[in-house]
Structure 1
């Protein structure tokens, strides 16, 4: 998952005042972190804001960084906490997005979609899995995403969730069992 020594080295260089090291960390980790946060927070714009906020917090906490933990564990803990806080907030109303055609009349962008049959066929399995993930309790979902999708070890997940490896194993097992049961129920 990570060139551990390289990310730690960059963070230590940044802590010592090398701003280009922060840029390198951002370029290395922004993409994977965004993919992770998007799985937790369904709105892409919100996920992007949370990733930016996570890096702002890394920037602000550079003096407190301790190289005992992997950089990725620290970064993902920050992002996980931000995402969980976002999920606990009351839902915001989603704006109806529109644009205007050549005559100045509003056009619903959501109405202009490719062939529905193709979309349904392509997304059926993915949608069932996403729905199953969303239905999981927060800690189970986070533990499963970090271990199965992001490739974190149970020790790293435990560090991110601030719990024990044994607890992480139980969370992942329960998450997999619940997902399997849901997929079987839906016939996927």
Structure 2
């Protein structure tokens, strides 16, 4: 049991998170196999998220390794103040944004799948299975337009959209990840959707 390590409600509420339990177990036992399990459960999702920012597979893998190095090195001082995924994606977001500052203008197709290990990591926006060539052209154009529009969003709006739409985060989890408030997250999403609506208006109406 790891619950005895904590006395305050702020940590107790996260002790049911399986990944928090793994992190606490690793902190207590320092068993590399425990950390490997934690890493294997989360590596693909975090790499997928980072890839959408940096648009380079090898770089995304390197940066994901950097995320887990930070997590590993933080183990001795770890106390859960959020779900594990919220904490891990906060680290991933910061590393991604630092990389973008060094390499401005990188974009990535959200429809392009790639493989990591045995897993297909799909960045698919929608199912492009179609029955007519005309449909394929129209859907392809729409996917490209959505891709371009999302990549042109300001980084905060882009992060909020990716976490909500592709990672299934709640508003509260996004707020924690971005170190802001729920109302600010909703405002970011509202502005992002308005921007996307404007950018896609011609294609949708056409």
Quickly name the TM-score band, shorter chain normalised. 0.7 to 0.9
For 1:135 and 1:161, how far apart are their aligned partners in 2?
A: 19
Partner Cα separation in structure 1 for residue 103 and residue 57 of structure 2:
17
| CA distance in structure 2 between the partners assigned to 1:124 and 1:13 by the alignment | 48
In structure 1, the partner of 2:124 is none
Task: Quote the offset at 1:172 in angstroms.
Answer: 1.0
The aligned counterpart of 2:170 is: 153
Query: Alignment RMSD, CA only?
Result: 2.3
TM-score w.r.t. the length of structure 1 is 0.78
Whether the 8 Å CA contact 1:146–1:152 is kept in 2: the answer is yes
Contact 2:51 2:60 in 1 (8 A): yes
Aligned-partner Cα distance in 2 for 1:5–1:168? 23
Structure 1's 62 and 158: CA in aligned 2 closer, same or farther, altered over 3 A? same
- From 101, 118, 132, the equivalent of 2:149 is 132
Residue equivalent to 2:115: none
Name the counterpart of 1:27.
40
**Aligned equivalent of 1:18:** 31
Pairing 1:177–2:194 present:
yes
Contact preservation (8 Å) 2:142, 2:203? no
In the other structure, the counterpart of 1:48 is 61
* 1:57 lines up with 2:70 in the alignment: yes
Provide the C-alpha distance between the structure 1 equivalents of 2:77 and 2:142, rounded to a whole number of angstroms.
43
- Counterparts of 2:146 and 2:189 in 1: how far apart (Å)? 15
2:149 and 2:196 in contact (8 A); partners too:
yes
> Per-residue deviation at 1:180?
1.7
Find runs of 4+ consecutive structure 1 residues off by over 3 angstroms: 120-123, 185-188
Separation of aligned partners in 2, 1:127 and 1:28: 31
1:114-136 CA-partner distances (Å, limit 9, x unpaired): xxx9xx84743322111111100
2:185 paired residue among 133, 154, 168 = 168
Shift of 1:176: 1.4
TM-score, normalisation: structure 2: 0.72
Residue 185 (structure 1) shift: 3.2
In the aligned structure 2, how far is the partner of 1:186 from the partner of 1:82? 34
Match in the other structure for 2:122: none
Q: How do 1:49-128 residues align onto structure 2 when only pairs under 5 Å count?
A: 49-90=62-103, 121=137, 123-128=140-145
Task: Give the number of the structure with larger relative contact order, counting CA–CA contacts within 8 Å between residues 6 or more apart.
Answer: 1
